[in-house]
Amino acid sequence: MEEVLLTAPGVAEVAVVGAPDPEWGEVVVAFVVAQPGAAPSAEALDAHCLAHIARFKRPKRYVFLDALPKNHYGKVLKTELRARLSASA
């Protein structure tokens, strides 16, 4: 799914994590960093996903960030992204 979102216009970086959901158990949340000067919308990203992957696989929510949290080796810290989701719930 991250590979599909990276091909969307205006997207620089993406990280996808699961978030707890009372109805489905878990839903997909995509954290998106836009390319400089670009402003992709959640609707445009959703349409891009629908054109390239199955409907049930697409993210249910898009969160836009200025930068993804990374460690010293450049690896995205998905645990920190999950913590942000639980803090906002």
Domains of the chain (ranges, CATH numbers): 2-88 (3.30.300.30)
Output the pTM of the full model: 0.92
* pLDDT of the residue at 89: 62
* pLDDT of the residue at 24: 83
Helix (H) / strand (E) element for 19: namely strand 11-21
Token reading at 82: 């999950």
Q: Is the pLDDT confidence value at 25 over 70?
A: yes
Which amino acid, one-letter code, is at 4? V
pLDDT digits (tens, 9 = 90+) for 38-75: 999 999 999 999 999 999 889 999 999 999 999 999 99
Buried b (16+ CB within 10 A) or exposed e, 32-55: beeeeeeebeeeebbebbeeeeee
Give how far the C-alpha of residue 25 lies from the chain's centroid of Cα atoms, to the nearest Å.
Answer: 18
Cα separation values, 40 from 33, 49, 63, 86, Å? 9, 13, 11, 25
